[in-house]
Amino acid sequence: MSEKKGAILILSGPSGCGKSTLLKEVYKDIGDYYFSISTTTREPRVGEENGIDYFFVTKEEFEKDIEDNNFLEYALVHDNYYGTSLKPINKALEEKKLVIFDIDVQGHELVRNKLDSIVTSVFITTPSLKVLEDRLNSRNTDEKEVIENRVKNAKVEVEYFRDYDYLIINDTLEEASKQLVSIANITRIKTKLFDKDSIISSWL
């Protein structure tokens, strides 16, 4: 019997490349999904809500979760902790949902190696570093030093695009969204195709 359940779609890319914007744009077109809400020690931005954008916790609370083995993966990203809780992911996979992660390059490697499910990954970037910097500035959610740090980290992160199944260069939102919808659909099909036991069982 195949152990594979659900379908996993991981999105990574430098801060400001447009991961959240793209996801919001495509949700209506990709059917039944579960978005993995991460836990973080970062301060909430204006407009962000606890339990919707992230679970915002203190460093002590985060470290307790690490101690209790509550995370599928966690990492230090741009000087804050971010982590994926294991329980809701397992539940969504059992329910055969398309499970979507917005996690960094460290998280991508960990999830790929830990879960016995088919993983499809997409690296998202902008046409240039200048465009990334402009988007972070016009988003107007972070201090100058935070943006500088994220731009510096982007130069390192972008090197990891080769580890991903797909690359989307988010130039126009319209084109990038179409590409992401196609990848989400392929991810579902690919997962079903690998679940050969359940397909053939109706013949036996």
Task: Kindly list the residues in this chain that would bind ligand ATP in the complex (CB under 6 A).
Answer: 13, 15-21, 135, 138-139, 170, 172-173, 176
Q: Is 82 in the site for ligand LQESDW3C (CB under 6 A)?
A: yes
Place of tokens 């053939």: 200
Q: Is 38 in the site for ligand LQESDW3C (CB under 6 A)?
A: yes
CB of 92 to ligand LQESDW3C, least distance (A): 15
Nearer to ligand ATP, 5 or 19 (CB): 19
Q: Where are the alpha helices (DSSP H) in the chain?
A: 19-26, 59-67, 86-94, 105-114, 129-139, 144-157, 173-194, 196-201
Nearest residue to ligand ATP, by Cβ distance, number only: 18
Q: Which of residues 86-145 bind ligand LQESDW3C (CB under 6 A)?
A: 102-104, 106-107
Taking the CA atoms of residue 51, residue 52, residue 53 and residue 57 in that order, the dihedral angle to the nearest 10 degrees is -10
* Residue 47 annotated as binding site: no
Taking the CA atoms of residue 55, residue 56, residue 60 and residue 64 in that order, the dihedral angle to the nearest 10 degrees is 0
Nearer to ligand LQESDW3C, 30 or 72 (CB): 72
CB of 192 to ligand LQESDW3C, least distance (A): 27
* Side-chain half-sphere CA neighbours of 17 within 13 A: 32
Q: Is 6 in the site for ligand LQESDW3C (CB under 6 A)?
A: no
- Contacts for 175-183: CB closer than 8 Å, 24+ residues apart: 176/18, 176/22, 176/124, 177/22, 177/25, 177/26, 177/29, 180/22, 180/23, 180/25, 180/26, 180/122, 181/26, 181/29, 181/30, 183/9, 183/120, 183/122
* Residue 12 annotated as binding site: no
Nearer to ligand ATP, 111 or 118 (CB): 111
* Residue 15 annotated as binding site: yes
Size of the site for ligand LQESDW3C (CB under 6 A): 16
42 and 54 in contact (C-beta within 8 Å)?
A: yes
CA neighbor of 38 nearest in space, from 80, 4, 93, 96? 80
Nearest residue to ligand LQESDW3C, by Cβ distance, number only: 107
* Residue 6 annotated as binding site: no
Binding-site sequence positions for ATP: 13-20
Extract the annotated binding site.
Answer: 13-20
Where along the sequence are the contacts to ligand LQESDW3C (CB under 6 A)?
12, 15, 38, 42, 73, 75, 77-78, 82-84, 102-104, 106-107
